[in-house]
Amino acid sequence: METVVRDVAEALIVVAVGGMVVTVLRRLVAGQLHVYRCAACARPTSRGYPRCRHCGREQPDAL
SS3 readout for 19-46? HHHHHHHHHHHHCCCCCCECCCCCCECC
What is the value of pTM for the model shown? Answer: 0.59
2-59: per-residue pLDDT in tens?
899 999 999 999 999 999 999 999 999 999 988 889 989 999 988 888 899 999 999 8
- For residue 22, the model assigns a pLDDT of 97
pLDDT at 63 over 70: no
